[in-house]
Amino acid sequence: MKRAASLLVVGMVLFVAASAFAQAQSASTQNQNTRGYPTAAYVKNIPLLKVYVHPLGYKLTFLRSDSTIGTLYVPLTWFGGTAGKAAITYGVTPDRPYVSIAWVDGTFDHITINASSDVTGPTWGSLGPLPDISAQFNIQEPSREF
């Protein structure tokens, strides 16, 4: 009889401890979301055909999924500081140039241009005297059509 009672007490202690642990895990998960951790993040990597330099920013050309050439404009105002929306990196790997665009919780977060360090190579270009294209660089976020 004593053995059955002690097993019952041990079982109850284990049950209470398990439920307390589950509540602590649930509270920990809720605290992580209230700390500002994203619940969903998505990054799209797009191989680029060419990176054009312009006084207002960069014009990026890429091949769309329907085999047409797409264009993406990245204003210079997006670059700089820790709160910047854009960055550019240089390297000599064969996969460059490409662009990475990140969305966090469904909204645009940042863009990274991964360019070739050989600025005299075929993947770099310069926009000459064109009609006024300043409106093309006046954007809030990149298009989602790729």
Give the model's pLDDT for residue 82.
73
Does domain 41-137 match CATH 2.40.50? yes
Q: Is 8 a residue whose pLDDT tops 50? A: yes
Reduced to 3 states (helix: H, G, I; strand: E, B; else coil), residue 53 is: strand
- Is residue 104 over pLDDT 80? yes
pTM: 0.70
Angle at CA 133, nearest 5°, toward 132 and 139?
140
Residue 74 pLDDT class (50, 70, 90 cuts): very high
Token pair belonging to 123: 């993947």
Q: How confident is the model at residue 27, as a pLDDT?
A: 47
pLDDT of residue 34 exceeding 80, the answer is no
Spell out the residues 6+ positions from residue 111 whose beta carbon is closer than 8 angstroms to its own: 74, 78, 85, 86, 87, 99, 100, 101, 102, 142
3-state secondary structure of 13: helix
